[in-house]
Structure formats: structure tokens, C-alpha cells
């Protein structure tokens, strides 16, 4: 299969490195043996990374650099009606597979994404000693079209998403459907992401950041108590519109480090 680089995509550093088609191990993700330094967002250093990112898991252990290619649908796995936030090769991405509960298929959704864009709400919340990000996506022409997630900065995926969105003020959106073989992949600009991310991070930077499922149970439950429905607490002050501007590739190609 021939893969072409899209315009503006960074070519892997070593063009002679072997090309590996990677898949993710279905086993539960384990914490890193030793925490990794957090990413930088502007002049802020994020907390140490405890849980490995998808990019790190795809690259795996290799004595030499290699080029890694995988489909975004492979990264998403069997997750339905729940957004997955990742950052690979410096770019932020949201992956989402819809079911009939939201819409019967993907027909006309590409036009709605282009015309109306996606609303992204992002806030940082203090929950006793913990801090977490609350993210809500509002998808156009979809009923109810609201998708909520509670995210921890101790996870590599979340840090790479935040750092990529901050650096480029854009997000790549990949939408799938459980009954459709197609994928709608769009690069979306997001003017205002700088401010939104900075304010959300500042609100929780000095808090503890839960890593494992067990650690997250209490703060996630408290967050769910504050906001019983995805639409609760949404404000235009914590929202940016992600406007689809051009198609994106349904796969990712990057160089392991």
C-alpha cells in the first residue's frame, strides 16, 4: 500500500528507517516503570507522565529509529459514543465512533462539519486534592450530539493532545460510525485554543493528577455529581469552535524516537 505525505506533514527524520505497521496491545495499559517529564505548554511545565501515550505504545521498544504507520480506527478500537483524545507527531486528534443512538449513519455529516464546525468545551476542575479536565464536544446535525470526557494530565495521551492543540490551535477530527465503513477525517482550526488551554491548565496545575482507574474513581464521581448531564455547566467562555478546513489522512505516519 502506498502512503503519501499530506502537505504540511513532517516527514520522518530518517527516511531510511524501516516502516512498521503497528497495532496496539489489547491488554490494560500499565503505568510507566518511572514517570516521564511532562510536556511544555507555553511557559508551563505539565506534571510528570505516569501512563504511557498511544504514540509511545505504538513505537514500542526499538534499538533503532523506525517509521510507524497505523489507522486511527485501530487506535480507537471498540470504543463507541465516547471521544478519545490523543496527540501523535505533535498534532492533537479527537477520535469518535458514533452509533445509532446518535445518528443512523454518516450521511451529510461532512457538510455539517464544514458549515457549522464542532463546539469544544474545556475546563479545569479542582476536586479535593485532585485536578481534572472536563471536555465536552457538541457535534452538529447529531442528536443529542454531546460527548463528555474527564481527563487527567498524568496520561501521556492527554498531555500530547493539550500540547498539540496549544501549539497549532487546531485539532484533527476523525469520526466513524458503527454501521459504516467510511471515516470522516478533517483538520479543524480552533482560534481561541491558546487561551482555553492555558486557563484550564492553570486551574489544576498544582493539584494531584490521578493516573490509574482506581485513583480516578473518586474525582470522576465528584465531577459527575457536579454535572449530571453533558450540557450542564457549559459556557461560551469555555468554548471554541473547531472549524473543518480540509480533509485529513485516516492514518498516522510518524518516526519513533
b/e per residue 153-162 (b: at least 16 CB within 10 A): bbbbbbbbbb
Residues 59, 68 contacting (CB under 8 angstroms): yes
Output the average pLDDT for the chain: 90
Q: What is the pLDDT of residues 151-167, one digit of tens each?
A: 999 999 999 999 999 99
Q: How many Å apart are CA 43 and CA 28, to the nearest integer?
A: 33
Out of 4-13, 53-62, 76-85, 168-177, least confident range: 4-13
What would the mean pLDDT of 5-23 be, rounded to a whole number?
57
Q: Give the predicted TM-score (pTM) of the model.
A: 0.91
> What is the model's pLDDT at position 62?
66
Q: What is the pLDDT of residues 134-155, one digit of tens each?
A: 999 999 999 999 999 999 999 9
The domain locations on the chain are: 39-50+72-249
Grid coordinates in use for 91? 498534532
Amino acid at each position: 500500500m502506498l502512503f503519501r505525505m499530506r502537505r504540511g506533514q513532517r516527514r520522518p527524520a530518517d527516511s531510511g528507517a524501516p516502516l512498521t505497521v503497528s497495532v496496539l496491545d489489547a491488554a490494560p495499559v500499565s503505568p510507566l516503570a518511572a514517570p516521564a517529564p511532562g510536556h511544555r505548554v507555553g511557559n508551563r511545565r505539565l506534571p510528570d507522565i505516569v501512563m504511557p501515550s498511544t504514540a509511545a505504545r505504538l513505537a514500542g521498544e526499538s534499538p533503532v529509529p523506525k517509521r510507524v504507520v497505523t489507522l486511527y480506527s485501530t487506535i480507537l478500537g471498540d470504543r463507541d459514543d465516547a471521544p478519545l483524545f490523543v496527540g501523535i507527531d505533535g498534532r492533537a486528534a479527537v477520535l469518535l465512533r458514533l452509533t445509532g443512538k446518535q445518528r443512523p449513519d454518516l450521511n451529510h455529516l461532512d457538510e455539517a462539519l464544514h458549515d457549522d464546525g464542532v463546539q469544544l468545551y474545556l475546563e479545569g476542575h479542582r476536586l479535593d486534592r485532585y485536578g481534572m479536565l472536563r471536555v465536552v464536544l457538541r457535534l452538529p446535525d447529531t442528536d443529542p450530539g454531546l460527548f463528555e470526557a474527564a481527563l487527567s494530565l498524568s496520561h501521556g495521551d492527554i498531555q500530547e493532545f493539550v500540547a498539540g492543540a496549544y501549539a497549532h490551535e487546531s485539532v484533527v477530527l476523525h469520526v466513524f460510525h458503527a454501521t459504516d465503513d467510511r471515516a470522516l477525517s478533517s483538520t479543524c482550526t480552533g482560534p481561541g485554543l491558546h487561551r482555553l488551554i492555558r486557563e484550564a491548565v492553570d486551574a489544576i496545575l498544582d493539584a494531584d493528577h490521578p493516573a490509574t482507574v482506581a485513583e480516578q474513581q473518586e474525582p470522576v464521581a465528584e465531577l459527575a455529581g457536579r454535572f449530571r448531564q453533558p450540557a450542564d455547566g457549559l459556557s461560551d467562555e469555555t468554548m471554541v469552535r473547531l472549524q473543518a478546513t480540509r480533509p485529513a489522512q485516516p492514518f498516522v505516519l510518524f518516526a519513533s524516537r
